[in-house]
Structure 1
Amino acid sequence: MATEHSRREAWLMAARPHTLPAAAAPVIVGVGLAVHEGLFAPLPALAAFVGAALIQIGTNFANDYYDAVKGVDTDDREGFTRVTQSGLIPPNEVKRAMYATFGLAILVGAYLVAVGGLPILVVGLASVVSGIAYAGGPYPLGSHGLGDLFVFVFFGVVAVMGTFYVQAASVVSGTFPTGIPAGTVTFGAFLASLPVAAISTNILVVNNVRDLETDREAGKRTLAVLLGYRASRAEFVGLLALSYAIPVWFWLARGHSLEVLLPLATLPYAASVARTVLTDSSGEALNPALERTGKLLAGHSVLFALGLIA
């Protein structure tokens, strides 16, 4: 039986704190854009981060639990240890933790609904349902080639635009707006969300390229399994290109100052990660590349937010 200390470590492994940049990055960019627009609101921004982090952790628990009970995770996979499949934590405990975490996210979301009204209620519930449906339910998104789209939409576009929206709504409309207040859903917010969406999706691309063979054997049809190595690597490079094109667009087309190009300082780091992804498929190489892609997301997002503020 695992000691208390090892159980604490096991729960940390299940929560996967190394994935939290994917929760923080959209909030950072959403705050940067709100400051630029004169719509920064600290409490809604903090609640957006807490809610996003809880949804991220809940999704991690769901992925760990459902992939184990459905036989997708096996001893042959090369990724980080899954606590359910490895027997470190009983499946029913992981499942309860998943529901408890999503329940906390809904509680935090209640405040955001009070600020943002019906749109946030719809987006919040859709995010929770999708977090469970990523690996669970009768049609798991991640096992039918839809995981990349899920991450791009919910951990990128929706997360950034939602963070901007709740701040803007709290400033311009007060409590529980009945519609969508003017100036809270903008084309600029959508464009600002794309680098976060792209690099967040690339975290999943690296994960799925690493697991391509074992996922195929387990019958898990990720997009990488459907596309193969070459097209998955092309997807990685294309998403990287998008993440660096958007700051240039803000500079050229929207009249932002030169500081909005700060994310380009991470290009050498991104190129180093890309070289690994393009030339290797082993867990020994791609596990560090996975972590480095998360760091790239954090660095790019912080610099982009600073550039937007400047």
Structure 2
Amino acid sequence: MIESNVKVNSAKAWFLAARPKTLTGAAVPVMIGISAAVAMYGSSVRVVPAVLCMLFALVMQIDANFVNDYFDFMKGTDDEQRLGPKRACAQGWITAAAMRSGLLYTTILACAVGLPLVYFGGWEMILVGFACVVFCFLYTISFSYIGLGDVLVLVFFGLVPVCMTYWLVAPPTPLMSIPWPVIVLSIACGLIIDTLLVVNNYRDIDNDRRAGKRTLIVRIGERGGLILYLLLGMAGTILAIAGIIYLNWHDGQFMQLIMFIYIQFHIGSFTEMRRIRKGVELNKVLGMTARNMFIFGVLVSVALLFAWL
């Protein structure tokens, strides 16, 4: 639905540009990291870094949305043929100059929120935060155009947020002591969240080809994109079950049952994706996939918390 009554640079314009529906993608990895720490350490977990990790993730997601909005607009990727949700700069809701200021301020805010984590995790947190900011820009400017966007999703929506949240929330331990089940869960999380990028790029495959944007879906084609979408959800579920069973071994069968709930939703969205194939109607699958992703995060978190209860 196109918002036609949005005043330029208004609060409503900035709200739309922030894309609040995308914030679940930032929240899910942190949820899983916190839940894994609770499964291992119970009430000994640290609350303040948990809150800071969540706030940092949310602000960075908004920052990434602003970066994507601005640079895709400047490159001409967001044109009148765009099938996905409308972007603020392309629609004229926010001027390019205002968006530059906006992404600068959100970057500064993210750094301010993340800086106290140095107290809990040491100076290494500065390197982690720096990498998050740099690759937030590089994703839109470069990596998404050469088919490496999915790799960044796996790293920065899986490995980094889940493992770093776990380590910061857990009682003080050496960085290299992150247990393998948490790493497995982080990979599972990254794979599940990548399904959102896959369906997004699947929908935009024709526009991306015209714009010279060589996403992974452009490289492997529509059929390959469908297969990839299905396999990512399956692989993520299998890995999540493996990690959950290790951390909650005494109730493994129940946890497997919980995770297979996600599979039913994933197969449902895959079926819709295969039926629709092309066009703006694929935005329906985008919404379904965002829902699936949140369900996955809740199910994994609940399963992990059962280990503590």
TM over 0.5: yes
User: Is it true that 1:102 corresponds to 2:107 in the alignment?
Assistant: yes
Which is further off, 290-299 or 207-216? 290-299
Cross-structure match for 1:172 = 172
Deviation at 1:19, TM superposition (A): 0.6
Supply the AA of the counterpart residue of 2:24.
P
Alpha-carbon distance in structure 2 between the residues aligned to 1:182 and 1:150: 22
**Who is 1:19 aligned against?**
22
Q: What is the match of residue 165 of structure 2?
A: 163
Q: TM-score, normalised by structure 1?
A: 0.90
List gaps (5 residues or longer) in structure 2.
Answer: none
Q: Which runs of 4+ in 1 moved over 4 A?
A: 1-6, 251-254
Match of residue 33 from structure 1: 36
- Retained in 2: the 8 A contact 1:256–1:308? no
Superposition map of 1:67-146 within 5 A? 67-136=72-141, 140-146=142-148
The structure-2 alpha-carbon separation of the partners of 1:74 and 1:163, relative to structure 1 and needing over 3 Å to count, comes to: same
Aligned to 1:305: 301
Relative to structure 1, the CA distance from residue 27 to residue 251 in structure 2 (aligned partners, 3 Å threshold; closer, same or farther) is closer
Q: Tell me the number of residue pairs that the alignment of Structure 1 and Structure 2 aligns.
A: 298
- For residues 33 and 188 of structure 2, what CA distance do their matches in structure 1 show? 12
Contact 1:72 1:219 in 2 (8 A): no
Measure how far apart 1:295 and its partner are: 1.2
**Identity rate of aligned residues, in percent?**
31
Aligned pair partner of 2:200 in 192, 203, 207: 207
Answer yes or no: is the 8 Å Cα contact 1:148–1:201 preserved in 2.
yes
Is the CA contact (8 Å cut-off) linking 1:199 and 1:293 kept in structure 2? no
C-alpha change, 1:223 and 1:247, in structure 2 (3 Å) is: closer
1:272 match: 268
Tell me the CA shift for residue 99 of structure 1. 1.5
Structure 1 counterpart of 2:236, from 214, 225, 243: 243
1:156/1:2 CA distance change after superposition, 3 Å: same
> Per-residue CA shift, 1:206-256, capped at 9, x if unaligned?
100001101110111111111111111221111101121023323656625
Distance 2:15 2:92 in 1: 15
Q: Which residue of 2 aligns with 1:10?
A: 13
- SS of the aligned residue for 1:221 comes to coil
CA RMSD of aligned residues (A): 2.0
Deviation at 1:115, TM superposition (A): 0.9
3-state SS of 1:85 partner:
helix
User: CA contact under 8 A between 1:79 and 1:283: conserved in structure 2?
Assistant: no
Q: How far off is 1:25 after superposition?
A: 0.2
The yes-or-no answer on 1:151 pairing with 2:153 is: yes
> Following TM superposition, by how much is the alpha carbon of 1:3 offset from its aligned partner in structure 2, in angstroms?
5.7
Residue aligned with 1:298, SS: helix
Distance in 2 between the 1:277 and 1:159 partners? 29
Aligned mates of 1:247, 1:61 — CA distance in 2: 31
Decide which moves more: 247-256 or 158-167. 247-256
**Structure 2 Cα separation of the partners of residues 256 and 142 of structure 1:** 42
| Residues 64, 3 of structure 1: alpha-carbon distance in 2 compared, 3 angstrom cutoff | closer
Contact 2:192 2:236 in 1 (8 A): yes
Amino acid at match of 1:218: A
Deviating more after overlay: 286-295 vs 42-51: 286-295
Q: Once the two structures are superposed, what CA deviation does each residue of 1:67-121 show, in whole Å capped at 9, x if it has no partner?
A: 0101111100100001111222101111211111111111111111221113322
Q: CA–CA distance in 2 between the matches of 1:75 and 1:68?
A: 11
What are the superposed Cα offsets for residues 33-65 of structure 1, whole Å, 9 maximum, x if unpaired?
A: 011111522111111010011111111100110
* Matched residue type, 1:44: P
Instruction: State the Cα distance separating 1:286 from its structure 2 match.
Output: 1.5
Preserved CA contact (<8 Å) 1:276 1:285: no
Asked if the contact 2:273/2:282 (under 8 Å) is kept, the reply is yes
The amino acid that maps onto 2:105 is A
For normalisation by structure 2, the TM-score amounts to 0.90
Residue in 2 that maps onto 1:260: 255
**1:263, distance to aligned residue in structure 2 (A):** 2.3
Contact 1:45 1:167 survives alignment (8 Å): yes
Q: Which deviates more, 122-131 or 256-265? A: 256-265
Aligned to 1:234: 227
